[in-house]
Amino acid sequence: MSIVGIVIHHHRDLAVRQARSLVDWLIERGDDVRMTELDSQTLGLDASVFPDEQFGEGLDLVVTLGGDGSILRAVELIDGSPVPVLGVNVGELGYLAMVEPGEEQHAVEGFLAGHHEVEERLMVQATVDRGGGLEVHHALNEVVVERGATSTTIRLSVSIDDAYFHTYAADGLIVSTATGSTAYSLSARGPIVAPGLRALLLTPVAPHQLFDRSLVLKPDSTVRFEVSGHRGARLSVDGRTLSTLDKGHTVECTASPRTVRLVRFGDSTFHEVLKAKFGLADVRE
């Protein structure tokens, strides 16, 4: 008997339908199914409901049905536990979920039989200092310090490995992993980096200056932001806005001691995924 967590995209009917079918199948097999209260209510199914803070304890596998956002929510829920994550792609432009709808039962069977691979993905850790104690966050994709909804350009002083680098005037700055290079960093014209590469990317968002390039840094680098102007900023981690930052507040980004374990099947390569997502021609012209 296995304990399988289910995380769904609440606003996609296909994800809800596929999740209901998967839960029924798992229960028929004699496996335990675990969901958050919100997911259980969305599905209208009887399953073991756990508080968010206990969701990852003792799980053998987490299955997400949605897009990359559902995988990011699962990563938040397991909170550093080394639970493998299997993504079913019921999204649009996702890079993390590789199993197609209708294949989830076969994929779970393959996982439980040991017919799978696990990719370890680097995470980034953000340590926030507001002068009254530190708070720590972990992200699979990115940590972002950016302007608030009503403010204009902010000023952020950046140090790399304890040496002052530059003060940016920009809408924000992103520190991403290689996995996150195809997320917000990509939309800010950052480079596409193979997800197996251990690196940190520093990408400015709409910089108001000549220097507008992304930096690809070693995984043991430390990137430190300080809000240096009078305009405040906000901190986001994997798309979740967590708090506001004022002048003098700092965010220090390093490689996290945590990793995310993504379940993979077959020989699909990152380059093939890119070709599919961008609609690149498969024939030489």
Percent of the chain's residues with pLDDT above 90: 77
Q: State whether 160 and 206 are in the same domain.
A: yes
Q: State whether 173 and 95 are in the same domain.
A: no
Q: Can you spell out the DSSP letters for 49-89?
A: E--GGGTTTT-SEEEEEESHHHHHHHHHHHTT----EEEEE
**Where does the pLDDT of residue 124 fall: very low under 50, low under 70, confident under 90, or very high at 90 and above?**
very high
Q: State whether 46 and 156 are in the same domain.
A: no
Q: Which tokens is 227 given? A: 């809000």
CB 119, CB 136: distance < 8 Å:
no
Question: H-helix or E-strand containing 227?
Answer: strand 223-227
Minimal CA–CA distance to 90: which of 203, 28, 23, 13? Answer: 13
**Where does the pLDDT of residue 133 fall: very low under 50, low under 70, confident under 90, or very high at 90 and above?**
confident
Give the residue, 190 or 131, on which the prediction is more confident. 190
Q: State whether 145 and 165 are in the same domain.
A: yes
Secondary structure of residue 284 in the 3-state scheme: coil
State the Cα–Cα distance between residues 144 and 237, nearest whole angstrom: 6
Q: State whether 128 and 63 are in the same domain.
A: no
Q: Can you spell out the DSSP letters for 79-132?
A: TT----EEEEE-SSS-SS--BPTT-HHHHHHHHHTT--EEEEEEEEEEEEE-SS
- pLDDT tens string 15-40: 999 999 999 999 999 999 999 999 99
Q: State whether 45 and 107 are in the same domain.
A: yes
- The count of C-alpha atoms lying within 13 angstroms of the C-alpha of 16, restricted to the half-sphere facing its C-beta, is 12
Task: Kindly state whether residue 149 falls inside one of the protein's structural domains.
Answer: yes
Indicate the number of domains in the chain. 2
Which range, 221-225, 230-234, 277-281, has the best average confidence (pLDDT)? 221-225
Question: In CATH, what number is assigned to the domain containing residue 55?
Answer: 3.40.50.10330
Task: Kindly state whether residue 148 falls inside one of the protein's structural domains.
Answer: yes
Task: Kindly state whether residue 247 falls inside one of the protein's structural domains.
Answer: yes
Q: State whether 273 and 250 are in the same domain.
A: no
Q: State whether 21 and 55 are in the same domain.
A: yes
CB atoms < 10 A from the CB of 169, how many?
Answer: 16
Q: State whether 131 and 249 are in the same domain.
A: yes
- Full domain range(s) for residue 210: 123-257
- pLDDT tens string 247-269: 999 999 999 999 999 999 876 67
Q: State whether 218 and 166 are in the same domain.
A: yes
Task: Kindly state whether residue 285 falls inside one of the protein's structural domains.
Answer: no
Task: Kindly state whether residue 284 falls inside one of the protein's structural domains.
Answer: no
Task: Kindly state whether residue 251 falls inside one of the protein's structural domains.
Answer: yes
**Where does the pLDDT of residue 272 fall: very low under 50, low under 70, confident under 90, or very high at 90 and above?**
confident
Residue 267 is predicted with a pLDDT of: 64
pTM: 0.92
Residues acting as catalytic residues: 68
Minimal CA–CA distance to 175: which of 203, 136, 213, 147? Answer: 203
Task: Kindly state whether residue 283 falls inside one of the protein's structural domains.
Answer: no
- Cα dihedral 99, 18, 115, 87, rounded to 10, equals 40
Residue 143 is predicted with a pLDDT of: 98
Question: In CATH, what number is assigned to the domain containing residue 137?
Answer: 2.60.200.30
Residue 260 is predicted with a pLDDT of: 97
Q: State whether 7 and 99 are in the same domain.
A: yes
Residue with tokens 């000549």: 210
Q: State whether 185 and 104 are in the same domain.
A: no
**Where does the pLDDT of residue 276 fall: very low under 50, low under 70, confident under 90, or very high at 90 and above?**
confident
Residue 45 is predicted with a pLDDT of: 81
Residue 165 is predicted with a pLDDT of: 97
Residue with tokens 């296995």: 2
Task: Kindly state whether residue 170 falls inside one of the protein's structural domains.
Answer: yes
